[in-house]
């Protein structure tokens, strides 16, 4: 079941008229100044209408403002209280106090977890084998924080590092990624994920006040690797709140709250022994296996449960006749 089917299956029986809807609201390319252009539908609202607008990627923050939310509110005006915005960005609801209704749900992560579970037989062979490399750090799109991490790690031994086409991987370099979905790309990189014990994850966003947790982190967890996640400030804590084991008894995650100027470098320096294979990871084997099981089955179930709970609360508020 894809996320659109799940939304329909959940919201329709609650009494909402959710037709028409457009679950992917972003169109065109991201504009660094103005955020995403939105594809929004003109709707004739009735008392049961719920317009569902889905943000499938990160948002543009301007201080405490979320530009995409302002665009939705401006478009729907007096009917904004009958609009549900589903979103990916961590803690976005903390930055908005207007009439729009918000529920966090990442279709990207939901679909990624389901793809990993459904295709488990295609990659389960990477599990349960000795790891021949201490670490990996794969960087496709080049950004300043990824350059900083990759340039440091390229001088460290017994690991895999890539940086766009500047530092290519053998067998499957970044030039072959374009047009390739995340799951097939993961299958092509099994030789990396199955051989590395630690994954230094350089996430999509870094300088933003908040951001997203992507397949980069999910794949590390699925591959039963110790995660060292470098992204926007507080991303490690966000991973904990998502239910992930961040191995705080092994990894020094104090870097997570450090300033942008030092956070990426300190993530490596504070954890050099872990990254370089100087610590026995065998005692963590059971926890790594549970983490992998959580990604494949626990996380999507949790996302569904949390969505249903919040949708019911929304129906109670907007549809007085609603009976569970």
Please report the pLDDT score of residue 2 as a whole number. 85
* DSSP H or E run through 319: none
List, in order, residues 6 or more apart from 216 with CB less than 8 Å away.
138, 201, 202, 203, 204
Contact 173, 139 (CB under 8 A): no
pTM: 0.94
Q: What is the distance of C-alpha 74 from the center of its chain?
A: 28
Task: List strands edge to edge, sheet with 83-87.
Answer: 51-54, 83-87, 101-104
Helix/strand/coil for 38: strand
| pLDDT at residue 323, as a whole number | 47
Residue pair 60/36 in contact (Cβ under 8 Å)? The answer is yes
pLDDT tens across the length of the chain (324 residues):
789 899 999 999 999 998 767 789 999 999 999 999 999 999 999 999 999 999 999 999 998 899 999 999 999 999 999 999 999 999 999 999 999 999 999 999 999 999 999 999 999 999 999 999 999 999 999 999 999 999 999 999 999 999 998 999 987 665 655 556 899 999 999 999 999 999 999 999 999 999 999 999 999 999 999 999 999 999 999 999 999 999 999 999 999 999 999 999 999 999 999 999 999 999 999 999 999 999 999 999 999 999 999 999 999 999 975 444
Nearest to 9 by CA among 310, 321, 304: 304
- 3-state SS record for 2-35: CHHHHHHHHHHHHCCECCCCECCCEEEEEECCCE
Domains present along the chain, CATH in parentheses: 3-105 (no CATH), 110-298 (3.40.50)
259 — alpha (psi -120 to 50), left (phi > 0) or beta? beta
- What integer pLDDT is reported at residue 322 of this predicted model? 47
d(CA 267, CA 253): 7
DSSP state for residue 22 in the 8-state scheme: B
What are the residues whose beta carbons fall under 8 Å from the beta carbon of 311, sequence distance 6 or more? 10, 11, 14, 103
Q: Kindly state the tokens that stand for 308.
A: 């249903």
Cα→Cα distances 177→41, 119, 171, 181, Å: 33, 19, 12, 8
Query: Which DSSP symbol is given to 88?
Result: -
pLDDT at 23: 82
How far is it, in rounded angstroms, from Cα 43 to Cα 40? 9
Q: How far is CA 29 from the centre of its chain?
A: 19
């Amino acid at each position: 079941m894809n996320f659109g089917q799940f939304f329909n299956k959940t919201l329709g029986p609650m009494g909402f008229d959710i037709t028409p809807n457009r679950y992917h609201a972003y169109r065109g390319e991201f504009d660094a100044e103005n955020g995403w252009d939105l594809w929004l539908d003109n709707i004739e609202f009735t008392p049961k209408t719920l317009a569902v607008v889905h943000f499938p990627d990160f948002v543009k923050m301007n201080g405490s403002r979320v530009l995409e939310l302002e665009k939705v509110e401006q478009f729907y005006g007096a009917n904004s209280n009958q609009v549900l915005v589903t979103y990916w960005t961590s803690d976005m609801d903390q930055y908005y106090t207007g009439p729009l209704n918000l529920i966090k749900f990442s279709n990207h992560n939901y679909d990624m977890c389901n793809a990993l579970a459904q295709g488990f037989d295609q990659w389960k062979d990477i599990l349960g084998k000795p790891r021949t490399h201490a670490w990996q750090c794969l960087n496709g799109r080049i950004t300043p924080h990824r350059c900083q991490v990759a340039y440091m790690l390229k001088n460290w031994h017994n690991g895999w590092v890539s940086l766009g086409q500047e530092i290519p991987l053998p067998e499957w370099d970044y030039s072959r990624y374009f047009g390739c979905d995340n799951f097939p790309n993961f299958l092509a990189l099994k030789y990396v994920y199955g051989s590395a014990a630690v994954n230094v994850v350089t996430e999509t966003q870094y300088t933003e006040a908040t951001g997203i947790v992507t397949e980069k982190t999910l794949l590390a967890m699925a591959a039963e690797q110790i995660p060292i996640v470098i992204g926007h400030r507080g991303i490690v804590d966000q991973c904990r709140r998502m239910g992930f084991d961040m191995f705080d008894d092994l990894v020094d995650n104090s870097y997570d709250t450090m300033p942008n100027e030092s956070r990426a470098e300190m993530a490596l320096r504070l954890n050099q022994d872990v990254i370089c294979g100087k610590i026995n990871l065998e005692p963590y084997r059971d926890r790594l296996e549970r983490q992998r099981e959580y990604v494949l089955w626990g996380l999507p179930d949790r996302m569904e449960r949390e969505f249903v709970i919040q949708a019911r609360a929304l129906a109670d508020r907007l549809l007085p006749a609603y009976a569970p």
